[in-house]
Structure 1
Amino acid sequence: MNEVLLTIDTSTQVGSVALSRGEVLLGENLLNGPRTQTDSVLVSIGRLLEDAGLGIGDVDGLGVVLGPGSFTGVRVGVASVKGLALATGKPVFGVSSLRALALQAPAARHPVCALLDARKKEVYAGVYGWERGLPAPLGPEAVLPPEKLLSALEGEVLFLGDGATVYRTLIARQMGDRAHFAPWPLHAPRASNAAVLALLEMREGRSVPLEFLTPSYIRLSEAEITWARRRAEGVIDG
């Protein structure tokens, strides 16, 4: 099958856009410059399609990373895909940023812990084994202090993601020889990995209706935290 898939990942500071046909990568652009991700995404989509000799009408489906990750970044990706889907009528397929990141370490000997820096001394974390060539969750994705995560991990673990970079010293100190780290180029998520998962969703007919296409933040936003605190203090009724 030769489905043309356009996939967007803006869940972290290093965003990317990938264009694929079936299981062949036609092109991929990384977005890590001074321009806003909104501008970069649109420019990259146009460039990828032009280089491949395709138009947006030739795309069969749209893949998007739903999070967790940067609240602003995830919103950019979801909004961009929604706009494209509304304009073209193409189906949308959402995937997890952490599971896509785990694909950076295919068939690893040890469980893979995908870590994204969640700020506030916390990480977004997902731990995966391998099943039929794809990362299989060994537990639910979570946002938590890295110390709490590390205390729950058993055996040897391969870490990757910007969270592994930020907390490398802590990880090495707390886990010792049980901790392994992927090479530095593998810490940045890639839309091409997300495309692998989106293609699977596409082939299994699991598109996401636009009214249900929402970011997966895992934790509350600052606005939601403030609202909840003010309500608890009796500042807000209802």
Structure 2
Amino acid sequence: MKILTIDTSTSTCSAALSIDGRCAGEYLLEAERHPSERLLAAVDILLRDTGMELEELDGFGVALGPGSFTGVRIGVATVKGLALATGKPAVGFSSLAMLALNLPWSLLPVCTLFDARKKEVYGGLYRVTSAPEPVIVDRVAPPERFLEAIEGEAIFVGDGAIRYREAIESILGHRAFFAPAHCHQPRASAGALLAGELLRTGAAVPLPLLNPTYIRPSEAELARMCQKAV
């Protein structure tokens, strides 16, 4: 199965082309902004360098969030467009679950944290074998409140783990462990494993239902709620 997987949910933009579960190529760039032109150029590079045509793909995968509202929208819109153009199925998955796959077969639960700004984190806790199984479902909260829900030891990964390391160590002490530096970036090649399983089991959804998972309201939604409350 040939799958193109895209992730733009954080400051790391990545795209991966996998063939039968093996990564044939991956583009990864750390950038504060993810112009759609750059993402499409990355897709072109992957296809060209692997000698594959877009029409040869069997499906698409995309990280649905949580993460950057703009970034997630770009990734989802790009995959929807490619799926519509080719008539191939598309699936989505949690960005936090994808990050947990950077630490497969960990003996400890893997706590994935993205910096959600506003003194909050997007966080999830997973047991990771061949696939991540949620222990604490994805949520947004101040780091201190999220950490209070963790029982026992855990290994932390993600830019939120880096930013709030001091708070994590203060609250959990010797129960907190941290992933090596190279594990903190989300990778579309890890997401391809999730996408492959979803496509294999027929879990593709109609494109109108393939939408971002923001978890918390956007600024525009908050403004509308405030106006209604007045």
Q: Normalization by structure 1: what TM-score? A: 0.94
RMSD: 1.1
Q: Spell out, residue by residue over 1:161-185, the C-alpha distance to the aligned partner (whole angstroms, 9 max, x if none).
A: 0100110111111111110000011
Matching residue of 1:148: 145
- State how far apart, in whole Å, the 2-side matches of 1:33 and 1:224 are: 26
Counterpart of 2:6 in structure 1 is 8
2:200 — aligned with what? 203
Offset of 1:213 from its aligned partner? 1.0
- CA distance in 1: counterparts of 2:127 and 2:27, whole angstroms: 28
Could you say what secondary structure the match of 2:137 adopts? coil
Which residue number in structure 2 is paired with residue 181 of structure 1?
Answer: 178
What is residue 166 of structure 2 aligned with on the other side?
169
Give the CA deviation at 1:31: 2.4
Q: Report the equivalent of 1:123.
A: 121
Q: Structure 1 unaligned runs (5+)?
A: 234-238
Over 3 Å off, 4+ runs: 33-37
Aligned to 1:227: 224
Amino acid of the structure 2 residue aligned with 1:202 = L
Q: Which of 1 and 2 has greater Rg?
A: 1
The whole-number CA distance in structure 2 between the counterparts of 1:48 and 1:4 is 12
Change in Cα spacing, 1:104 to 1:215, as seen in structure 2 (3 Å) is same
Match of 2:98 in 1: 100
Contact 2:152/2:175 (8 A) holds in 1: yes
Q: Secondary structure at the match of 1:140?
A: strand
Rounded to whole Å, the distance in 2 between the matches of 1:4 and 1:225 is 40
Q: CA deviation at 1:60?
A: 0.7
Q: 1:158 to 1:34 in 2, by over 3 A?
A: closer
Distance 1:160 1:35, change over 3 A: closer
Amino acid at match of 2:164: Y
Identity %: 52
1:124–1:144 CA contact under 8 A, matched in 2: yes
The alignment status of 1:138 with 2:135, answered yes or no, reads yes
The total of aligned residue pairs comes to 230
Name structure 2 gaps, 5 residues minimum: none
Q: Cα 1:109–1:34, aligned 2, differ >3 Å: closer, same or farther?
A: closer
